[in-house]
Chain A
Amino acid sequence: MVKLLWLIPILPLLGAVINGVFGKRLPKHVVAGIAAGSVAGSFLISLAAFFQMLQLPETELPIVQNYFMWIQAGRFQAQFGFLLDHLSGLMILIVTGVGLLIHIYSAGYMSHEPGFYRYFAYLNLFMFSMLTLVLANNYLLMFVGWEGVGLCSYLLIGFWFFKKSAADAGKKAFIVNRIGDFGFIIATILIFWTFDSVDFQAVFSRLENATLFPVETLGTVGTVTAICLLLFVGAAGKSAQIPLYVWLPDAMEGPTPVSALIHAATMVTAGVYMVARSAALFDHAPGALLVVAVIGTFTALFAASIGLVQTDIKRVLAYSTVSQLGYMFMACGVGAYAAGVFHLMTHAFFKALLFLGAGSVIHGMGGMQDIRKMGGLRHHMPWTFRTFLIGSLAISGIPGLAGFFSKDAILWAVWNSENYGKLLWTIGIITAGFTSFYTFRLVILTFFGKPQYTEHDVHHVHESPVSMLAPLVILAILSIIGGYVGIPAALGGHNNIEAFLGGEEAGESSAEMILMLVSVAVAFGGMGTAYLFYVARPDLPDRVASSVHAMYTILVNKYYIDEIYNVTVVRPILRSSREFLWKFIDTGIIDGTVNSVGQVVRATGSGLRHIQTGYVRTYAGWILFGGVLMIVWFLR
């Protein structure tokens, strides 16, 4: 099956091409069948390849397959080739597995859409790009997937392109991602000029030469640090970190399954994957690692704080995603890549679950997304409720569920970091409290209490069909058991996942046990506060909001970041391009000069025309004048 590695991305690509070209004429179930079937095929091959890989001895890893030379010029070479190792093996399972569930879910969710075939073509194209990103064996091919997923994100956010807000959001996502991609491409170029290759294995093996590439000291920016910082610009764009996170909340304009797949489970984790893939580089650049840790930590807190007050069910989840991605970078930033990828995996399960659950709610409520107008839905949507609750418990870090183990792994690694570890841990734990609060605020407002909607707004609230519920149930199970691959030593486990991904575990320690208790207490604390605010004392939210009015306004308006970008970047560029560059420089100065040269020539010409009078006496006069001039010249 390892030999069929190339089929993993190619099958969805075929699906995309077939649905894109012929889908309009095909019945919907055929379209969905082609799309989901191709992903199912990829999933099966991935599974087989994964287990086959596990049988192989370590020395035979990674498995590398080059298919053809993609770009070559001089010494530069970029193959079209794939690399399978533990990291990419785990990723393809997550991507194809979650992807398959979301394809199935979409068949139900999107069943009334006129652009059904278009949707599935894009979704399949996304799978192709994401799998290429993950399997690529060099930075440039990774960039193909990297921009490819950005493109699909653009197309899917703008799926309802007739809505201006959706079209704007799609464009914004692409452009902000491009700013990140700028970092990625410059990093790739710098990698080539530094290591004479962009191939992962070649680059990482050359790094082992300690005399050429010593670990750079904290506080200086050497070449490797520069490379890592540039790569992180790319990661910050794709994985929505400060200051490039602004596109992700807007991306919620897309259909909800898209939010689940692309803007929660897979694409946005590409940055984390890329950093983990480049671990060898980052390990040589402690300065860059610190930047990653700090940005990750602050993004986690910052986004969670916005999430506290949002009222759109998807936007709460979007800010939550930004925040959780921050956790993953926090882990990478302290060198705990395995913990970061572990959280990437559990997050893929429970966040996809939460988004699909939200989608089920929105579907059942006929498009309603405002949580203030929901309430009491647990009676109408029992399965959605149960699964959503499991997802919420998982993200909040309640012991026994997936999120608990991965978050604990991160916080423990951060605590042990020598660079501001305790400070970062403190922020991390505050964020954990926020997380649990906003999640249960969401759960309570949506599923508990009395209905806040009227029959006039929403008719016939209903549970979703089986094709939508089945993926929810599977993801709920994964959200519970997904963590047991990484039981920490403190709880008597072996943390298989970290060993699998080559991470080093800090070892058993009573300190870990204490920290774990603290974070569990914080999780329950957040939950309790949500209960207090929205069940026991429903007057409290308003009173708190008015007592810290300024802070509340800032949070509701998301720190005004979009407005600030608009005023400081977007509008000045547009204005100066139009008024200064185009109208003044181009039309005024350059063209003005050209045209005035033209006018001078023309004026001179029409002036000189008067010499041509046609009178013989005038010409005779000129000849005489010229003759005299010549005589004077020769006699001088």
Chain B
Amino acid sequence: MDVITANILTIIAFTPAVGAVLILFFNSAKIRSIRMFAFVITLLTFVFSLHLVTYFDSRVAEFQFAVNVPWIPSLGVHYELGVDGISLYLVLLATVLTPLAMLASWSIASRAKEYFIFMLLLETGMIGVFVSLDLFLFYVFWEVMLVPMYFLIGVWGGERRIYAAMKFVLYTMVGSVLMLVAIIALYFLNGNATGTFTFSYPQIMAALASNSLVIAPGIERALFLAFFLAFAIKVPLFPFHTWLPDAHVEAPTAGSVLLAGVLLKMGTYGLVRFSLPLFPHQSQLFAPMISFLAVAGIIYGALVAMVQPDLKKLVAYSSVSHLGFIVLGIFSFTTQGMEGAVYQMLSHGVSTGALFLLVGMIYERRHTRMIADFGGLAHKMPVYAAFFLIVTLSSIGLPGLNGFVGEFLVLLGTFGVSRSLAVFAALGVILSAVYMLWMYQRTFWGEVTHEHNQTLRDMNRREYAMLVPLLALIVWMGMYSNHFLRPMDASVAKLINQVQSRDVQVADQNDR
């Protein structure tokens, strides 16, 4: 057991990659066996990831299941992994959503071999981002995950897939290149100050904590902004969001599910993991501005979502709105706000993942996503309509379901810091009901007006298999939030402590 525990993160992160390599040996005509194999690999990854939940010690704030071996010794690059209460369930989110996304890829026929290879590589990239503790390694995973996504959108996407794929990559690259510069700067600053040239995040944090590394405020601001821009684009925070609707609309269903469900969380995760602890003072300085952008995004995303004629675009803009809540919670620097933000990351992954799966199902049947092409679907697909309704309710934050917990905690935490921000953010809660229910009404209620919709069949078994786990999570997370919140406590407390106390020290130095 010890061997497994010691290497569990490596196993989880690289099982999909190994699977991808093995698929190379498959005959590309045997689509059925390829996709079954890929699916089994992701299921296996999921099972491995359960090990984390089982053996995770909630009392500990430090990184667990840690691995640390030199990778490129000459540069001080380490293969250093670990999870804490914040990243624990994000890994799970990736391992839960990927098999479901695989099931949503059953109809992929052209270049299936390449498709499933990219999907598996994507999973490795996603998990890698959440478990890397070495900044260099983190950056590698961060970029690695771009490549399969680029191809998934660009090859298996919709009509404007090339435009969307390019936009996605270029937007992200702009941010990440700056982040790379900041990482290298941090490496040299730390190396020069302490004599140890390393990319290790824990080591740099230790240097900062012991004051052996002190970053001048001007440089600190530049570094903070470089990291921030990379993450803000990924989130995406208003006004860096316009890549998202295009990427979502053009991506194949599985791509949208993973994009919205997991990839967006890499941005908010980055803010929590790196921006706040590395640059607490700058985080505090910029917090009012960032919170303002977050609230602007909440309302803006909701209003724009309201008038979208395309289901996927509507969900995409709703993500802009929901992700605003996450950023708002993070920059409240309160326990409630922070835990709410992490909870909302998981919850949004589940709900929006489910929404994209649902939209994908109807797209497969009708080859359109325009709301105007539907209407009265509840007559023909009652079960589908019921599932869709529950997910809709989860997305609009009905208390008792998952979406409420995160949203409420974020509002609660924010209110303790700024009442007006919380009140404006809460307006987003009203608006979410408006755009989601209006969409639901136009899609499912009324009479069937289009001839093509007369012959629609209801959900099949594979589709049940995709949705039932997510529905169970929606209810579970809504009622027993303790299961997901308690493991965060120690890590969140430590994080808030880092932000607050270091802030005091830096402020002191500035006074001197």
A interface residues, Cβ below 8 angstroms from B = 20, 68-76, 80, 140, 143-144, 146-148, 151, 154, 158, 161-162, 164, 167-168, 170-171, 174-175, 178-179, 181-182, 185-186, 189-190, 192-193, 573-574, 576-578, 581-582, 585-586, 590-591, 594, 598
Contact A577 B303, CB 8 Å, known A162-B379, A162-B446: yes
Which residue of chain B has the shortest Cβ distance to A76 in the bound complex? B336
Which residue of chain B has the shortest Cβ distance to A185 in the bound complex? B426
Decide if B429 touches A178 in the complex (CB within 8 Å).
Answer: yes
Q: Which of A158, A162, A171, A185 contacts B447 (CB 8 A)?
A: A162
CB proximity to A under 8 Å, residues B437-453: 437-438, 441, 444-447
A-B contacts counted at CB < 8 A amount to: 129
Q: Which of A76, A162, A574 contacts B445 (CB 8 A)?
A: A162
Complex contacts, B241 vs chain A, CB 8 Å: 590
Decide if B430 touches A72 in the complex (CB within 8 Å).
Answer: no
Binds A, one of B78-86, B221-229, B360-368, B407-415: B407-415
Task: Determine if B184 is an interface residue (Cβ-Cβ < 8 Å).
Answer: no
Task: Determine if B71 is an interface residue (Cβ-Cβ < 8 Å).
Answer: no
Complex contacts, B412 vs chain A, CB 8 Å: 73, 76, 189, 192
Task: Determine if B485 is an interface residue (Cβ-Cβ < 8 Å).
Answer: yes
Decide if B307 touches A182 in the complex (CB within 8 Å).
Answer: no
Q: When chains A and B are docked, how far (Å) is the Cα of A408 from the Cα of B405?
A: 44
Q: When chains A and B are docked, how far (Å) is the Cα of A185 from the Cα of B405?
A: 12
Decide if B411 touches A171 in the complex (CB within 8 Å).
Answer: no
Q: When chains A and B are docked, how far (Å) is the Cα of A501 from the Cα of B244?
A: 56
Decide if B433 touches A71 in the complex (CB within 8 Å).
Answer: no
Which residue of chain A has the shortest Cβ distance to B447 in the bound complex? A162
Task: Contacts A72-B482, A144-B399, A189-B415 known; list 8 others, CB within 8 Å.
Answer: A144-B400, A148-B398, A158-B445, A573-B303, A574-B306, A576-B303, A581-B303, A581-B304
Task: Determine if B242 is an interface residue (Cβ-Cβ < 8 Å).
Answer: yes
Task: Determine if B481 is an interface residue (Cβ-Cβ < 8 Å).
Answer: yes
Complex contacts, B446 vs chain A, CB 8 Å: 161-162, 164, 167
Complex contacts, A151 vs chain B, CB 8 Å: 393, 398
Q: When chains A and B are docked, how far (Å) is the Cα of A151 from the Cα of B392?
A: 12
Task: Determine if B427 is an interface residue (Cβ-Cβ < 8 Å).
Answer: yes
Highest count of chain A CB atoms <10 Å: which of B300, B399, B438, B482: B399
Would you give the shortest CB distance from A193 to chain B, in whole angstroms?
A: 6
Decide if A174 touches B485 in the complex (CB within 8 Å).
Answer: no
Task: Determine if B339 is an interface residue (Cβ-Cβ < 8 Å).
Answer: yes
Contact A167 B398, CB 8 Å, known A182-B430, A590-B242: no
Task: Determine if B266 is an interface residue (Cβ-Cβ < 8 Å).
Answer: no
Decide if B429 touches A182 in the complex (CB within 8 Å).
Answer: yes
Would you give the shortest CB distance from B248 to chain A, in whole angstroms?
A: 14
Complex contacts, A68 vs chain B, CB 8 Å: 480, 482
Would you give the shortest CB distance from B130 to chain A, in whole angstroms?
A: 22
Complex contacts, A70 vs chain B, CB 8 Å: 479-481
Q: Which of B170, B243, B437, B444 contacts A161 (CB 8 A)?
A: B444
Would you give the shortest CB distance from B167 to chain A, in whole angstroms?
A: 8
Decide if B400 touches A140 in the complex (CB within 8 Å).
Answer: no
Decide if B481 touches A71 in the complex (CB within 8 Å).
Answer: yes
Q: When chains A and B are docked, how far (Å) is the Cα of A9 from the Cα of B412?
A: 28
Complex contacts, A574 vs chain B, CB 8 Å: 306-307
Q: When chains A and B are docked, how far (Å) is the Cα of A69 from the Cα of B307?
A: 39
Decide if B430 touches A590 in the complex (CB within 8 Å).
Answer: no
Decide if A590 touches B239 in the complex (CB within 8 Å).
Answer: yes
Q: When chains A and B are docked, how far (Å) is the Cα of A457 from the Cα of B379?
A: 29
Would you give the shortest CB distance from B49 to chain A, in whole angstroms?
A: 24
Complex contacts, A186 vs chain B, CB 8 Å: 411, 415, 422-423, 426
Task: Determine if B378 is an interface residue (Cβ-Cβ < 8 Å).
Answer: yes
Decide if A167 touches B409 in the complex (CB within 8 Å).
Answer: no
Contact A175 B433, CB 8 Å, known A74-B336, A594-B171: yes
Contact A161 B415, CB 8 Å, known A71-B409, A148-B400, A171-B437: no
Which residue of chain A has the shortest Cβ distance to B482 in the bound complex? A69
Q: When chains A and B are docked, how far (Å) is the Cα of A148 from the Cα of B412?
A: 21
Would you give the shortest CB distance from B383 to chain A, in whole angstroms?
A: 9
Decide if A178 touches B398 in the complex (CB within 8 Å).
Answer: no
Would you give the shortest CB distance from A153 to chain B, in whole angstroms?
A: 13
Complex contacts, B335 vs chain A, CB 8 Å: 73-75
Contact A586 B336, CB 8 Å, known A73-B485, A178-B430, A186-B422: no
Decide if A586 touches B405 in the complex (CB within 8 Å).
Answer: no
Q: When chains A and B are docked, how far (Å) is the Cα of A585 from the Cα of B301?
A: 12
Complex contacts, B378 vs chain A, CB 8 Å: 161
Decide if A577 touches B334 in the complex (CB within 8 Å).
Answer: no
8 A-B residue pairs with CB within 8 Å: A68-B480, A70-B481, A147-B398, A147-B400, A171-B437, A182-B426, A186-B411, A574-B306
Task: Determine if B125 is an interface residue (Cβ-Cβ < 8 Å).
Answer: no
